Amino acid sequence: MNRIIGVSDGIFSPLYEKPHDSYADKNVERILSQSPTGVEVVTLGLKWWPELKSALEKYSNSASVQWLSLHITPSTLESFPDLSIFALEMRQLVQDYGVKNIVFHADLLHEVTDRLFFNLLPISVENTDMGFGHTAQDVMETIGDKYYHNFGITLDIQHLYGTGGLIQGLPEFHQIPGKGIVEYHVSNWEYGTHGMLRNNTLESSLILGVVSDDNIPVIIESMCGSTHDYAKEIEYVRDYCASNPD
């Protein structure tokens, strides 16, 4: 199969005047202009749910998009009056738009004590760049022995490389029981943010060299200041993966 190479809908965040500009038609059109086969949509809270659904509908109807994931933010959880209502809304999005992965940072999911509401949802835990959630041990603690069979791992490789843990920490993530790694996130570390991979080919080769399984979607989180930068960035990752198949 052809590897799924997609992007986060925050890839154009340098151009946003307001955070929910990510859901705007013009941003959806910018993202779809390069026919990504996957899109990660960052949730911004219940207030913006109609805009979120509108964007998800456009992505799910795109001929190119095969993989849709949601990245849950603290503001999203805080905006729901009850965890059960949040879980019901997630199930509806999975059913209506074919969402395949619901991503929580480890430190956020660690605060959720009742996981029963998450049964039958495609939840994954993402490693953080620092603090709690950075190590495989933290991620395993977050998942817990009782629920590990329900959860996958979203591995942000830049989070590992950015703090020097790429070589030391990587094997442990592959050993976490359960569904294993279901999505990769890639970008460079540049001035404290997600930089473009093509700007540092040495670092990029280390980061992209980790995405060894062609069956696992790759989501680009690099921040691009123009559609030209975006086109070059996704082309760079596609070419690298095509030249270095599993």
Q: What residue segments make up the domains of the chain, in order of their start?
A: 5-243
Among 43-52, 196-205, 222-231, whose mean pLDDT is lowest? 196-205
CB 7 within 8 A of CB 183: no
Residue 65 pLDDT > 60: yes
Residue 192 pLDDT > 70: no
Can you tell me whether residue 79 is helix, strand or coil? helix
- Specify the fold of 5-243: TIM Barrel (3.20.20)
Note the helical H segments in 11-156: 25-32, 49-60, 74-79, 83-97, 106-109, 136-143
So what's the pLDDT on residue 39? Answer: 98
So what's the pLDDT on residue 132? Answer: 86
Q: Work out the average pLDDT over 154-167.
A: 73
Q: What is the mean pLDDT of the chain?
A: 90
pLDDT tens-digit readout, 4-49: 999 999 999 999 999 999 999 999 999 999 999 999 999 999 999 9
Beta strand pairing status for 193-195 and 188-190?
antiparallel
Nearest in space to 144 (alpha carbons), one of 103, 108, 113: 113
pLDDT tens-digit readout, 163-187: 554 555 788 888 888 889 999 999 9
Predicted TM-score (pTM) of the model is 0.94
So what's the pLDDT on residue 191? Answer: 63
